[in-house]
Amino acid sequence: MNTLLVVEDEKLIRQGIVAMIRRSSVPVEEILECRNGEEALEILRKQRVDVMFTDIRMPKMDGLTLVNKMEELSQKPVVIVLSGYDEFSYAVEMMKHGVRDYILKPIKRETIEQLLENLERELSETRETEEEEERCFLNQLRYLMMNAEMAEEKEWMDMESRIRRHIGNDSFRILLTSKANGERFSKCSGILLEGVEGGVLYLLPEPEAERIMKEKDERFCLGVGKEHRSVMEIPEAYQEALLAREMAFIQKNPVEEYQKKCFEEKPELAQFQEKFILQVPTDRADTVLRKMRNWYFEAAHQRVSPY
């Protein structure tokens, strides 16, 4: 279990619950504490929480209001209510709003232990399901992006909510770089696709993309597409990033941003290809092209210099 939040206004009770959780056989990476629903809601908006234990009667915002407010969140924790005998009717009402279970006070260590074991098992199964769904989503996105002529508008519309969950509702860009360089961006928000044209593709919110573009490094061979807003434009953004990366490689630029006019006025890529083809004897073309692909692969993975 990654993160557990305890919401309880009485300090001694809150600390007692935290102590029982720490002594349980279920490992919890991070245990957070707060005094009321208002503080809890602020935490839930900032980070993902797996499980939340909450009291019912608290100042500023009680447990029932907190659970109702949580409906606005995209990621909700599993909720366990801490209930006194005189609050049981409230606990039952909260169960109607998605609360998983309740614990009657005074709280026993054995009850916490059993509950955490059950929750850990459920969370593990949920994680496996989510990971499989994410793999399917990324494979579908890759297919639609690289086979734009075969994709229908409905397929993109079906994918939009999941894409927006990763990149938000603002504009975005696609960045394409080699796998070795891509590791630098591992903490970026957005979508990562490996094995795209021998490298890594990033679909990032505009502010994140702008930040990375400013971090120029001679080791980079980074192609950046234009700013886009509609998910229907993802295939176009991908082609832009692909062309920009090719130009960055040829011109020895650490970062190349796609601009249609500039690419039309600078036929370096076409000239490079034409010159290369003219220099290759017909009877040796296959051998030379195979060596060229091997050299490009080595350069892309930083095993040899591309320059």
**Residue 305 belongs to some domain of the structure:** no
Residue 251 has pLDDT above 70, yes or no: yes
Residue 125 has pLDDT above 60, yes or no: yes
Same domain for 170 and 258, yes or no, is: yes
pTM higher than 0.85 for the full model? no
Percent of the chain residues topping a pLDDT of 90: 30
Domain membership of residue 204 as a residue range:
165-300
- Count of structural domains, the chain: 2
Nearest to 203 by CA among 178, 247, 235, 180: 235
Same domain for 206 and 82, yes or no, is: no
Q: Given this model, what pLDDT does residue 246 score?
A: 82
Same domain for 184 and 280, yes or no, is: yes
Amino acid at 55: D
Q: Given this model, what pLDDT does residue 151 score?
A: 78
Convert the pLDDT of each residue in 135-194 to its tens digit.
999 999 999 888 888 878 888 888 888 899 888 888 999 998 876 555 566 667 788 888
Which strands, in side-by-side order, build the sheet including 101-104?
30-34, 3-7, 51-55, 78-83, 101-104
d(C-alpha 203, C-alpha 218), whole Å: 22
Which strands, in side-by-side order, build the sheet including 199-205?
191-196, 199-205, 172-178, 222-224, 255-257
**Residue 108 belongs to some domain of the structure:** yes
Same domain for 98 and 16, yes or no, is: yes
Higher pLDDT, 92 or 129: 129
CATH number for the domain that contains residue 85: 3.40.50.2300
Same domain for 180 and 67, yes or no, is: no
**Residue 280 belongs to some domain of the structure:** yes
Same domain for 267 and 191, yes or no, is: yes
